[in-house]
Structure 1
Amino acid sequence: MTPLDHATAPARRRDRTHYLYLAVIAAVILGAALGLLFPKSAVELKPLGTGFVNLIKMMISPIIFCTIVLGVGSVRKVASVGKVGGLALGYFLVMSTVALAIGLVVGNILQPGANLHLTDAAKAAAEKQAASGSGSTVDFLLGVIPTSFFSALTSGAVLQTLLVALLVGFALHAIGDSGRVILTGIGHLQRLVFRILSMIMWLAPIGAFGAIAAVVGAGGWSAIESLLQIMAGFYLTCAIFVFVVLGALLRAVAGVNILLLLKYLAREFLLILGTSSSESALPRLMAKMEHAGVSRTVVGLTVPTGYSFNLDGTAIYLTMASLFIAEALGRPLSIGQQISLLLFMIIASKGAAGVTGAGLSTLAGGLQAHRPELVDGVGLIVGIDRFMSEARALTNFAGNAVATVLVGRWTDAFDRDRCAEVLAGRLPFDERTMLDTDAHGTEPEPVAAPRQPTAAS
């Protein structure tokens, strides 16, 4: 084999992943067709989608743990970690408010739900969702603390893993040079975890087929015909938020084109579309944002935290769904009532991860606690919530990707030149390992051992 052949061999291996995502597209189409033609059989395929999402979720905790420990442990100035976290949380609060405001404006213009009527079946469905959506802010805060040190890595709770990883990272930082051996071992563990994830991803077509077939088989077209207005309005609002608000902010602050960033993350969006869960793409988002020039510390802190605190799509959904329900019940909300209810909703949404159904449960639980006379109306949108959750998950994911770039730019931990090369396709992402052989991003204070070229193969 000539040197040229050696140089092109890895590219050929990466190209094979294109077939995987073409298979996902075909699986989504076939699943929808099966759901329409044979609905009873299609519903029974739901475990395929659930199983695939569970496999992805199985990998989230170890990936977050490794990334954050390596990031925090590699930074000599601990104060920079606090700066990243503070900027991220402040940004999340501002953007959640903006998302609420946009949903409020569009919801009042469209006034969806005015011609709908509540049925007994819808009331029963609403009561079920309200029961599953209960929980207070205190419960959420206490839930961040794991039962034991190791339970954070097995419970699947993102914020618990984040807490433990931060503690380990700071402890390794305090140990000093003797902690470098542990960091090197965690670096090798990270490569192993990403390799396992790349193996799981080949099951994506099966998972997408089962998930889409089940939802179409259960609801069919009749589930969305009478509620097309609220769906179209919600989709439009999410598009305005992503392309106008986030796009303008990303261009102004980081000089990055939102369309190029979304194209770079196209496979992750396709995965979310098939599974209706933004969590299924969380590990790949962390790997890709680091590859695109954002430092490991920023990625490790911003992305996992954003999955609980930066739910822009969920904020828009809660806004429009609340207005929709109030109008459908003949109890429209005044401006003051809207602001009060929706501020309550955005607080209640914190900690609701991007899992299918989380937005509906949060809506029902929030209404039950704040405006119980409206909770019966949740049943009106149960039939189409699965379709609306697609837009919620996609918007949440886009918001977290943009947030990672912005926080990196504000903390001088973003390599704009590298990002331009990556988005232009000149530095392709390694689909086989999801790790670079050199370095993914610009790390202000890297630890030498994990970054050695000999550690990658």
Structure 2
Amino acid sequence: MKTKSSIFSNLTTQILIAMLVGVFLGIIIHNNCSEDAAKEFSGYIKMLATIFIRLVQMIISPLVFTTLVVGIAKLGDIKAVGRIGGKALGWFFTASFISLLIGMFWVNVLQPGVGLNLSDIDLNTASEVTEKTQNFSAQNFVEHIIPKSIVEAMATNEILQIVIFSIFFGLAAASIGDHAKPVVNALDKTSHIVLKMVNYVMKFAPIGVFGAIAGVFAVRDFGDLALTYAKFFGSFLVGITSLWVVLLLVGYVFLKSKMSKLLKHIVSPLIIAFGTTSSEAVFPKLTEELERFGIKDKIVSFMLPLGYSFNLDGSMMYMTFASIFIAQAYGIDLSTGTQMTMLLVLMLTSKGIAGVPRASLVVVAATCGMFKIPVEGIALILPIDHFCDMFRSATNVLGNALATSVVGKWEKEDESKIF
């Protein structure tokens, strides 16, 4: 029988308590302090979340590089890398397409943007996002994917660029064979040291979640937000719930009874991602939990970095939903053909956005610009975006955990047939 102390020492329980205390404190500050005082409090309390996320970001680059290189080297040959990579990309693009379709379906069925009053919208709030879209082009997109310096990529935590370099490095190490073993072994030991650091960093998770939640509720009147954006947020929740149902059903189809065990392992990462609105913040913890679940370390270290670059299901669903919502708000009728074209554009332009602040909004704004939808319309969703981001981030974590687990199961079955 568990004692009270053991229950409250559980990380998940601590995070849930931190979220509730954060909401309670934020509401008290909002209701009893002046607007300026609440903003000042929010700025200071959010530093707790910033410290936690920075601690995580500190170990993201070395963890992605070491685990991915070791994972590829352990796979042994280019044929194995190609086989698993093919399964991974097939899953990622299928999941992304389904996520985009779900967003497109619900925004057309529920039409949350139709009849919206635009007179009270402050368009100046969108300037931070719209400025980032001015240099958004195919050339810049390619330059963003391919690193010109691995040091620069690591310094800025550009996950996709680190993944590209690590794949080349890992393939080269695998092709050399025994001569590369000392380097691979050193990187393997380094990855275990970094994963040990994860245990230390995760102790700060409840404090980070508390700061993030308290900071938001101190400056936002959630009652007014919920009333003003009830239709948009409600429609979004219908869409994201549908996506969860699809993901869980697919999980049960492939993993069967093990799906329940997987969910127990990823509860903490899901809640941390939800509270901090950062799927990147749980990358190290998710790596650890998936290995505990029983997925081989070489599969986890190969799949997760790829997933964070190519498999952001929650963000994908939100992108079509938000883009078409803005068009509806401005009375712009988009044909089914145009919407499908938008969907394909989002499939390509959204890759490699993990870890980029407000990346979903930047991609939505850029897509609106391509389809002659007023980019300033991004201001419509800014006030509620933080709460949408909580659900997007948690969904991204679920999607990547599921993809890694299913591909890991396939590989185990293939190996049992061979041996």
TM-score of the two chains, using structure 2 as the length reference: 0.89
Kept in 1: contact 2:280–2:354 (CA 8 A) = yes
Kept in 2: contact 1:118–1:377 (CA 8 A) = no
**Distance in 2 (alpha carbons) for counterparts of 1:72 and 1:102:** 34
Match for residue 347 of structure 1?
348
**Following superposition of structure 1 onto structure 2, how do residues 433-444 of structure 1 map, counting pairs within 5 Å?**
none
1:19-40 Cα shifts (integer Å, max 9, x gaps): 4433322221122122222131
**Distance in 2 (alpha carbons) for counterparts of 1:175 and 1:17:** 50
One-letter amino acid matched to 2:125: A
* Structure that is richer in helix per residue: 2
Match for residue 34 of structure 2?
none
Match for residue 423 of structure 1?
none
Q: What's the CA shift for 1:233? A: 1.9
**Following superposition of structure 1 onto structure 2, how do residues 197-208 of structure 1 map, counting pairs within 5 Å?**
197-208=198-209
Match for residue 36 of structure 1?
27
Q: 1:322 to 1:377 in 2, by over 3 A?
A: same
Q: 1:73 to 1:208 in 2, by over 3 A?
A: same
Match for residue 106 of structure 1?
106
**Distance in 2 (alpha carbons) for counterparts of 1:220 and 1:342:** 34
Q: What's the CA shift for 1:142? A: 2.2
**Distance in 1 (alpha carbons) for counterparts of 2:8 and 2:25:** 25
Match for residue 403 of structure 1?
403
Match for residue 85 of structure 2?
85
**Distance in 2 (alpha carbons) for counterparts of 1:137 and 1:21:** 42
Kept in 2: contact 1:83–1:411 (CA 8 A) = no
Q: SS in structure 1 opposite 2:345?
A: helix
Q: 1:136 to 1:147 in 2, by over 3 A?
A: same
One-letter amino acid matched to 1:55: L
Q: SS in structure 2 opposite 1:53?
A: helix
**Distance in 2 (alpha carbons) for counterparts of 1:65 and 1:163:** 10
> Which of 212, 219, 226 pairs up with 1:224?
226
**Distance in 2 (alpha carbons) for counterparts of 1:398 and 1:18:** 24
Match for residue 309 of structure 2?
308
**Distance in 1 (alpha carbons) for counterparts of 2:230 and 2:321:** 14
**Following superposition of structure 1 onto structure 2, how do residues 331-370 of structure 1 map, counting pairs within 5 Å?**
331-353=332-354, 357-368=358-369, 370=370
After TM superposition, the structure 1 stretch with the greater mean CA deviation from structure 2, 140-149 or 25-34, is: 140-149
**Distance in 1 (alpha carbons) for counterparts of 2:179 and 2:132:** 47
One-letter amino acid matched to 2:252: R
Match for residue 450 of structure 1?
none
**Distance in 1 (alpha carbons) for counterparts of 2:276 and 2:367:** 25
Match for residue 195 of structure 2?
194
Kept in 2: contact 1:30–1:209 (CA 8 A) = yes
Kept in 2: contact 1:72–1:297 (CA 8 A) = yes
**Following superposition of structure 1 onto structure 2, how do residues 144-183 of structure 1 map, counting pairs within 5 Å?**
144-183=145-184
User: Any stretches of 5+ residues in structure 1 without a counterpart?
Assistant: 1-10, 416-441, 446-457
**Following superposition of structure 1 onto structure 2, how do residues 231-380 of structure 1 map, counting pairs within 5 Å?**
231-243=233-245, 245-256=246-257, 258-353=259-354, 357-368=358-369, 370-380=370-380
One-letter amino acid matched to 1:53: I
Match for residue 394 of structure 2?
394
**Following superposition of structure 1 onto structure 2, how do residues 40-119 of structure 1 map, counting pairs within 5 Å?**
40=38, 41-44=40-43, 45-119=45-119
Q: SS in structure 2 opposite 1:74?
A: helix
Q: What's the CA shift for 1:413? A: 6.4
After TM superposition, the structure 1 stretch with the greater mean CA deviation from structure 2, 265-274 or 326-335, is: 326-335
Match for residue 452 of structure 1?
none
Kept in 2: contact 1:276–1:356 (CA 8 A) = no
Q: What's the CA shift for 1:236? A: 2.3
Q: 1:200 to 1:71 in 2, by over 3 A?
A: same
**Distance in 1 (alpha carbons) for counterparts of 2:138 and 2:89:** 17
Q: 1:15 to 1:145 in 2, by over 3 A?
A: farther
Match for residue 35 of structure 2?
none
After TM superposition, the structure 1 stretch with the greater mean CA deviation from structure 2, 272-281 or 114-123, is: 114-123
**Distance in 1 (alpha carbons) for counterparts of 2:91 and 2:218:** 40
Q: What's the CA shift for 1:259? A: 4.2
Kept in 2: contact 1:277–1:356 (CA 8 A) = no
One-letter amino acid matched to 2:122: A
Q: What's the CA shift for 1:187? A: 2.2
Kept in 1: contact 2:145–2:160 (CA 8 A) = yes
**Distance in 1 (alpha carbons) for counterparts of 2:228 and 2:260:** 33
One-letter amino acid matched to 1:229: K
Q: What's the CA shift for 1:110? A: 0.9
Q: What's the CA shift for 1:277? A: 0.5
Kept in 2: contact 1:81–1:297 (CA 8 A) = no
1:200-247 Cα shifts (integer Å, max 9, x gaps): 11111221111111212222212232112221221222222222x222
Q: What's the CA shift for 1:274? A: 1.5
Q: What's the CA shift for 1:400? A: 0.9
Q: 1:406 to 1:133 in 2, by over 3 A?
A: farther
Q: 1:413 to 1:299 in 2, by over 3 A?
A: farther
TM-score of the two chains, using structure 1 as the length reference: 0.82
One-letter amino acid matched to 2:397: F
**Distance in 2 (alpha carbons) for counterparts of 1:139 and 1:28:** 39
Kept in 2: contact 1:408–1:414 (CA 8 A) = no
Kept in 2: contact 1:276–1:386 (CA 8 A) = yes
